[in-house]
Amino acid sequence: MQFDPAIAAQVSFKRAQDSGELGPDLESAREAEAIFSGSAGREATAGYFTLLELGERHPEAVSFQEFLIYITWQQVTEETIPAHFQKGAELCDRYLCRLARAHDEMQAEQIRALRRSFRAGLGQREDDEEEYDDDTPKGGD
């Protein structure tokens, strides 16, 4: 990867806060993010799952969905289990299918790179990814 997912997560979370994407859930997201980034072990994992729950409530929140993808990669590095790889791949697929057009190409490229990594962690080959990327709309309004 040519970027740092932790830094990308911070940038995306700031954009999510500034854009108002989370509406009344913003304070809950801030609290959960502080727990996730400021602790370790079970406490950090609990913060992570709270953030995922908030993401389910806001599936169209582009920057917040990016943030979730990046922190899921952080979860993979902390706890390398198939469930995190699977969740990361699912989040990437949802983003690339529905949200990538709503943001810049750099974000979409970074998420494609993470998708490849999540899928590799699951033992899935890249050859079926080319078909997926051919079907994914790119750029434009």
Per-residue pLDDT of the chain (141 residues; tens, 9 = 90+): 688 999 999 999 999 999 999 999 999 999 999 999 999 899 999 999 999 999 999 999 999 999 999 999 999 998 889 999 999 999 999 999 886 666 678 888 999 999 999 999 999 876 554 444 444 444 443
Judge whether 63 lies within some domain: yes
Judge whether 100 lies within some domain: yes
Judge whether 31 lies within some domain: yes
Judge whether 11 lies within some domain: yes
Alpha-carbon Rg for the chain in angstroms: 14
Judge whether 107 lies within some domain: yes
Judge whether 99 lies within some domain: yes
Please say whether the beta carbons of 79 and 45 come within 8 A: yes
Judge whether 141 lies within some domain: no
**What separation in angstroms does the CA of 41 have from each of 7, 38, 51?**
21, 11, 16
Q: How many domains does the chain contain in total?
A: 1
* Domain interval for residue 124: 5-134
Judge whether 140 lies within some domain: no
d(CA 15, CA 70): 14
